[in-house]
A and B are shown apart, each in its own frame.
Chain A
Amino acid sequence: MLNMATDSYLCPYCSVRLETFNSLKAHVRAEHSAEPLPLPEGIIQLTINKHAYQLYVEPEWMLYYVIHDQLGLTGTKMFCDRGACGSCTVIIDGRPVLSCMTLAIECNGKTIETIEGISADHHPLIDAYIKHHALQCGYCTPGFIVTAKALLDHNANPTEDEIKQALAGNLCRCGTYPQHPKAVLEAAHVLQEGR
């Protein structure tokens, strides 16, 4: 691709010349929907909690398995076993997603946030959940907080009803539900005060 004679970069798909390697990469992605330097089969690149990872994954591995078992980020929990409880929720490119239902290999290039990242950032949801006892056994708690964080990212000033709707996909067998809107509203308030 590097043409030494002209000191420019030749696109392998359409032979157009580009001045820099970065502009070649951008061109290949934009015009040919392809990766300029394809990764070996099974390797994915992820950004999790602001850290870059390059990982080998089997095609059938779920993102939950990679995060929890391979990377040891055990705050992401397996509760229902598949798609019913929200405890394995992570934020992928800004959206709350069930990691137990997401193939890891499809997450190449994604930016992911887990409870560990949210707590490392000292998000006010953490203190609000502790203060309001919006947790009992605590097993489902990270999933609730991740879901609530995704809500607050999009809606800084949610109503109680909006909070309930956002959290309706998360199960808590201890029945802590009445405390969650209180905790989320308080966190929203703290965030707004800080702005």
Chain B
Amino acid sequence: MTMAEGLGSYQKLREEGQYHIGGEPLNITFNEIGKRGQRRLDGYEKATGKALYTRDMHIPGMLYARVLRSPYAHAKIKLMVTGRAERLPGVRAILRFDDPEIKGRDLNGSYFAQGWARPKLAGWALKPVHLVLADEAWYEGQPMGAAIAADSEAIAQQALSLIHIEWEELPFILDQEEALKPDAPILRPGAESNEIHDPRKYYEVGDVKKGFQTADQVIEFKARRRPHLWAGAEMPSVLVRWLDDRLEMWVHQQQPYIAKQLIAEWLNIPMGKVTVNTVYQGCSFGGRGNPANHSENGMNVLATLLSKITGRPIKMLFDRRDTFFGESGDMAISDFKVGFNNNGTITAVQIKNIFAVYLAATGIDHFVDNTRIVNLACEATPVDVSIGPAWWARCEHLTSCLSLTLVLDHVAAALGMDPIEVALKNDGTHGHDTGYLDQYKREHGFPDRDSLKECIEVGKQAIGWTEKWHLPGTRKLANGKLHGIAFTWDHNWDDTRGTGSAAVMIENDGSITIIGQHVDIGPNPWTPLCQIVADEIGVPFESVHIKPWTVDTGFVLMSPDGSCNLVTNGNIVRKAAHKAKQMLLELAAEKFEVASPEELDIRDGVIFLKADPANSKPVREIVARALPVHVSGAFWTQPPIIGWAWHNQGIWGQANETDRPRLCRQAHFMEVEVDPDTGQVEVTHVVNVNDVGKAVSPEGVEGQMYGGTVMGVSRGTIEEMIWDPQTGVLLNGSLLDYKYATILDCGPIDTPFIETGLGHGPYGASGIGEATATIIPALLGPAVYNAIGHWVDDFPITPDKVLKALGKIQQCSDE
């Protein structure tokens, strides 16, 4: 508070909203927070099928819209004739790429988008030349050419097939190393090179050359991650209607406020004229947030234009194949060089990553965040290829996790050491050892606990590490399969970019409502917010309610991404609750006839005098009688008791930019059985130990841990997008051909999280949504190595690669 004194009201709000590093003394009794068995607020609607998703929305008179997609990996429209489509009964409008409303218009504007997201500047992040309806496609499946509104989805789709196009086919390349060759054709319209400019291309700290010279040993190896994608449950859609010059939308967006900013800017109308409604969202893991993908702003633009033309509500729909563009941003070919001493201490790490389409994180980041390694170097080269724009999806740290796991486990393997010993020898941050971290914790009021050691101890017990760990390729089971066991670790996600606002309002009957627009993509976000407000004010959980999408109020909770959903929103509602509580106690002080609200407190929904707790009144009695109400009933509403707050958990970039080390760690253990005859890898047991700092909803935490594990195992063993090398056409663009894990595809998952209070979030919490799914795929590598005694550093680890590593076949399926 003292920092905000003397500031103007806006500056004060901003100052109060900033996160300041440090643990805080907890002045709260946890009644609801951390309680097991709290019935989740979204449960009834979801289990009964009453939950409405964007796909379910329907307005009388609405038309259906579909957009044309390129059948070629790289091609230009020479001539497009739409006459036959126009004449099909039921077709109401066709929007062409050369229509004046849209010709030459970029997918997104540039005012609200951050610098890197601006189409013309976004060399490294996006496909820069990106029109809403282009006449040249640089990947098969790109929305382009025309969009059609019709009486039904089927008619719109049929009309698309009646458009006659003369194409000029252009050369395409699928492999990033091929695309970098000097004689490779340029793939992206207007580009000078297939290498995408990235200001972060080179990273180096210390002196890696010296680090290799002083090392006892140096190893080199190559790894590869092939394309995969998030493929969320609900296919994208949007429903829009114009009411004169006002626009109303039902969006399928994780970040509805950003959707509103983008569409208002594109249409050049005030945000105040746009109402964005959100309903439930079939999971999206961040994948829906790609501004280069039409499922973010593009389909909204097309739907609003078609609605304007027809004067009718428009529902634009993507089908399942339409969702198969937007790969996860970790498609990389990686070269590693690692120097280390015979005791397991790593002296230098050098990584060269060549990314396809786009990179999320360079790949060295987690060595900076998590280790005491002094000499680090990374060269990251993103390259255009003829596949859709990639994006981060649970999450951008995939490459960094893969690097950390492979480097530490390769070192352990080279030394014949237990990988846990190697981890503990290198734990630290920014080149400092754990002594530095201990000092940091003391200086910043954090608990004096060693997160990694605690995670490891819990995990070792749960998996039986001491009894089961063995040297690679040395344990054959009675069923003839090879047993593998592996360990990896990392920091627990403590992403810091979250920002948002919300209000806590005490209604005239004393019940409490959280006001703030927020979408749900699955992690049970609202129950914990109500738990926090309940404990912060001192009322039962049942008194607190949230209406996250009733109205587009302008209060916007942090969107569910970046592992900072609860970390940010918990702080927002906590601050708002404090303000509302203060107003309530000021009102109560009048009723109790005491000099100061400081003399009062609230427990179990009852306000009492601290000096005489027997002197008490229920919250309801104070609020409902705020004004002297006529005996026959409430003729007027009470002055609202409302507190609102804005909170900024930090800027993006984590440790490097905010200079705040991550203190929470996580450790993961996996057992596999590998069939030496078929190459099949079966994950038989996983133990996740995440230090979540503080679990507000224990079941919510566990849900993210086992859910992420299922996704991680799926990514590590079966998920891969495959394009036809002859045509550049995606071969497995459906959920029949692109497999992901079912209930049968992963063995038991243990989720013994720990709570050290070392997170930067409220009550010392850290994030949990992304960490597990991002690390588990990497753990497949050392697990299979431990089973068969050979590295398969090519992900996903499919049976053909295992058989090749075992020397049983000469070639993999795509060689």
**A positions within 8 Å CB-CB of B:** 60, 68-69, 72-85, 87, 114-116, 119, 125-127, 129-131, 133, 135-142, 145, 164-165, 167-180
B71: A residues at CB distance < 8 A: none
B112: A residues at CB distance < 8 A: none
Closest chain-A Cβ to B589's Cβ sits at a distance in Å of 41
Determine which of B47, B710, B736, B773 lies in contact with A141 in the assembled complex, contact meaning CB atoms within 8 Å: B47
Binds A, one of B216-224, B280-288, B331-339, B468-476: B280-288
Determine which of B283, B321, B744 lies in contact with A136 in the assembled complex, contact meaning CB atoms within 8 Å: B283
A171: B residues at CB distance < 8 A: 233, 735, 740, 742
Determine which of B40, B49, B55, B736 lies in contact with A78 in the assembled complex, contact meaning CB atoms within 8 Å: B55
A131 to B282, CA, bound (A): 20
A74 with B320: CB separation less than 8 A: no
A93 to B517, CA, bound (A): 43
B49 with A119: CB separation less than 8 A: yes
A75 to B52, CA, bound (A): 8
A174 and B49 in contact (CB under 8 A), knowing A83-B736, A130-B40, A137-B280? no
Closest chain-B Cβ to A99's Cβ sits at a distance in Å of 13
Q: A87-B233, A138-B51, A173-B230 are in contact. List 16 more A-B contacts (CB 8 A).
A: A74-B49, A77-B49, A78-B235, A79-B735, A119-B50, A127-B47, A130-B43, A131-B37, A133-B700, A135-B43, A138-B282, A139-B280, A165-B744, A167-B743, A173-B231, A178-B710
B523 with A175: CB separation less than 8 A: no
Pick the most buried of B45, B47, B520, B702: most chain A CB atoms within 10 A of its CB. Answer: B47
Closest chain-A Cβ to B724's Cβ sits at a distance in Å of 21
A74 to B237, CA, bound (A): 15
B699: A residues at CB distance < 8 A: 133
A137 with B520: CB separation less than 8 A: yes
Bitwise, B770-809 to A at CB < 8 A (1) or not (0) is 0001000000000000000000000000000000000000
A60 to B523, CA, bound (A): 38
B711 with A130: CB separation less than 8 A: no
A87 to B234, CA, bound (A): 10
A69 to B520, CA, bound (A): 24
A119 to B44, CA, bound (A): 10
B39: A residues at CB distance < 8 A: 130-131
B53 within 8 A of A: yes
A131 to B45, CA, bound (A): 13
Bitwise, B698-714 to A at CB < 8 A (1) or not (0) is 01101100111111000
Determine which of B56, B231, B741 lies in contact with A175 in the assembled complex, contact meaning CB atoms within 8 Å: B741
A177: B residues at CB distance < 8 A: 706, 710, 741-743, 746
**B positions within 8 Å CB-CB of A:** 37, 39-40, 42-53, 55-56, 58, 154, 230-235, 280-283, 319-321, 520-524, 699-700, 702-703, 706-711, 734-736, 740-744, 746, 748-749, 773
A142 to B44, CA, bound (A): 11
Determine which of B45, B319, B320, B703 lies in contact with A138 in the assembled complex, contact meaning CB atoms within 8 Å: B45
A145 with B47: CB separation less than 8 A: yes
B711 with A175: CB separation less than 8 A: yes
A75 and B49 in contact (CB under 8 A), knowing A130-B40, A136-B523, A173-B232? yes
